[in-house]
Amino acid sequence: MPPQQAVAALPARASSNLRLGLLVPAVAAVVALALLPVFTSGYVVYVANVLLVYVVLSLGLNLVIGEAGQFSLSHAAFYGIGIYAAALGNKLLGLPLVGCLLLAGVVAALLGGVIGTIALRMRDIYLALTTFAFGEAMQWLFLNWEPVTGGPNGLRIPPSSLFGVEILNDKQAYPVVLGVALLMLGATVVISRSRLGRAFRAVRESDVAAMAMGIPVRRVKIMAFLLSAFYAGVAGGLFATFSTYIHPESLGFQTTMTVLTMVVVGGLGSTGGALLGAVVFGLISELLRQAPAVQEMTYGLILILFMMFVPRGLAPAVSRWVRGRGHV
């Protein structure tokens, strides 16, 4: 697929220079992000938390669709499972924050593995539609399993605690959300460059050819679903740490589509793209929250225009621009 080819085509020297050149701004960005709550209002921090959750969601969806080429449309379901697992772990079991996050990730990953196993029988449109159906069925479950999820009334989450300190507001939650998001980002880079990441891409290009090369295609596909669901679950757990209330309304197809949009607008198959798409699109949707009609029209126009004129997404376009400047 094109983004990888573009990177591979770079001479080794240029790529290491580029990496060094990226290191400084990356460190600066992390420091700036870490200091964000010191300088800004609670609302900005809240938006930052939401964006970071979107980043983790996008990274996960990019793993299964972008890297492994499996068209899964049940991301919001795993996200929802993560939210409820974390909230209930906190509320009923009294788990500390780290335990809640792990529980959220693991429960989602297990279900992701099950869906991945079922999905082995299907491809393309049928896979997309089965996972879509699973997502819708899960949302129905969230809405109707009242003893556990609170149903349409929603569920109140008690504040989670980290090392005995209760997290009561967005600013307190922010370091945790940022730390976990960075951890997940790092893990994505490691996975993407590992043997497993290469296996994902081989399966994406052609599972027959991958099988011929000795890649255990079935296991790799299940792994893609499982990992992607783990990300979504952790994202849900993060959401639960800075929210006091969950409502199943926001856990349907619309959310899956929002995340898919982020991944595609950012650049399918590229980690940087998932990051960029989540931040840019998340900001747009937050800025236009008050005007739903305008928000929807803007979404629609962005999607259509991107597919017409920037079909590979933001990340390849940006990296081409950066490299172009470097040569001058």
Partner 1 sequence: MDSEVLFLFLQQGIASGIVSGSVYALLALAIVMIFKTSEVPNFAQGEVFMVAAYAALFLIVFYGLPMWVVIPAALLFTVAGMMLFEAGILRRVKKALGEPVNLVIATLGLSFLLRGLVRQTGLGDTPRSFPSLVSTDPVQIGQAMLTRLDLAIVGTAVAVMAAVFLLFNFTRAGRAMRALGMNPKAAALVGIDIRRTHAFVWGLSGLVSAISALLIAPKILMTPEMGHVAILAFAAAIVGGFNSLPGAVLGGFIIGIAENLVGLFVSASAIVVTPFLAIMAVLVLRPQGLLGGRPQMRKV
CB of 296 to partner 1, least distance (A): 3
Residues 189-218 that bind partner 1 (CB under 8 A): 206, 208-209
Q: What is the C-alpha separation between 69 and 7, in angstroms, rounded?
A: 19
Name the residue nearer to partner 1 (CB basis): 23 or 137: 137
Using the rule CB under 8 A, is 312 a contact of partner 1?
Answer: yes
| Distance from C-alpha of 177 to C-alpha of 80, rounded to nearest angstrom | 17
Decide: is 142 part of the binding site for partner 1 (CB under 8 A): no
Options 44, 99, 299, 318; binder of partner 1; rule CB under 8 A: 299
Is 139:77 a contact under the CB 8 Å cutoff?
yes
CB atoms within 10 A of CB 52: 28
Closest CB to partner 1 among residues 129, 165: 129
Give the C-alpha distances (Å, rounded to integers) separating 232 from 71, 119, 122, 314, 328.
15, 18, 22, 23, 41
Nearest-approach distance from CB 143 to partner 1, in angstroms: 8
Shortest spacing between CB 291 and partner 1, in angstroms: 9
44 in contact with partner 1 (CB under 8 A) = no
Residue (of 44, 54, 14) closest to 235 by Cα position: 54
State the DSSP H helix or E strand holding residue 278, giving kind and residue range, or none if neither. helix 271-287
118 lies in the binding site for partner 1 (CB under 8 A): yes
Helix (H, G, I), strand (E, B) or coil at 206: coil
State yes or no: residue 35 binds partner 1 (CB under 8 A): no
CB-CB contact of 55 with 279 (8 Å): yes
User: Residues binding partner 1: what is the number (CB under 8 A)?
Assistant: 47
* 122 forms part of the interface with partner 1 (CB under 8 A): yes
Return the residues of window 220-259 that contact partner 1 according to CB under 8 A. Answer: 253, 257
For the chain, what's the residue count? 328
Residues that bind partner 1 (CB under 8 A): 65, 71, 118, 121-126, 128-130, 132-134, 136-137, 140, 144, 206, 208-209, 253, 257, 260-261, 264, 268, 292-304, 306-309, 311-312
